[in-house]
Structure 1
Amino acid sequence: MARRVVVLNGPNLNLLGTREPHIYGTATLADVETWCAERAAAHGLEVSCVQSNHEGALVDALQEAGADADVVGVVLNAAAYTHTSVALHDAVKAISVPVIEVHLSNPHAREAFRHTSYLSPVVDAVIAGAGIHGYGYAVDHLAALVGTTAGATTTTPEG
């Protein structure tokens, strides 16, 4: 199997495009997954995507990514679990592949409870407030971290 990036999306991200588009935009989760696949392909990587509304499923996916020799890194939008989950914090700490935390909106410009991330202290980078572009930036950053940026071009996602 080819080297790949795992893109993990947490609770309610399956509602992208319809849930609070004034905050999260009109792009759908399918648009996010397509955008990540395009960015990864530009670096000679593949993508596998997981979305779950369940914290334990995201923990399992992180552990599986960390144990898979083909995985070069994880893009993680833990959504609301960012601000509540010690379990996700511990799962990120337990794996050796780089993890990039992504947020479509800027949590620091929102409610006070969103200002604290349990993930930020243990991830390799945080990208927030860039909408769907943030996922592409995260894939590009992972590619740079693992040395696969040759030949990559910059494009813009639809949506």
Structure 2
Amino acid sequence: MNFLTVLITFILMEGATWLIHKYVMHGFLWVLHRDHHDHSNEGHLERNDLFFVIFALPAIALMYTGATNHYNHLFYIGVGITLYGAAYFFVHDIFIHQRIKLLKNTQNPYLLSIRRAHKQHHKHLGKEEGECFGFLWVPVKYFKIYFSKK
């Protein structure tokens, strides 16, 4: 049951990420997300990186609360959120934006699809008219580009 809770939470985080990215990050917290699109910050860190902390706090609170209550379901929901955050960091920050040079020359169709969709998202410098707000699941048209080449 605990594994199932973690897995379901991880899967549901994709929908939550889409909603948060579209309506929060490209909405009232655009002030924090904007430098990720227009690269107005010259340093290694962006204001956008604060979202890492903002999203970690509920996961930490859930794991702490669940752990103090005999490792109930709240703990495992927090674990699912944390695992999704780790996947997000690896794919978004390390793979897509190459903060650490890794998998730069991959030919994996799935990873290339994600990278292409993210490029489409970043072609819009403003907070309106965005597309591809998802993360691990992107519109099928991007999968078709790379999976049809195999």
Fold-level match, TM-score > 0.5?
no
- Over alpha carbons, which structure has the higher Rg? 2
- Structure with greater helix percent: 2
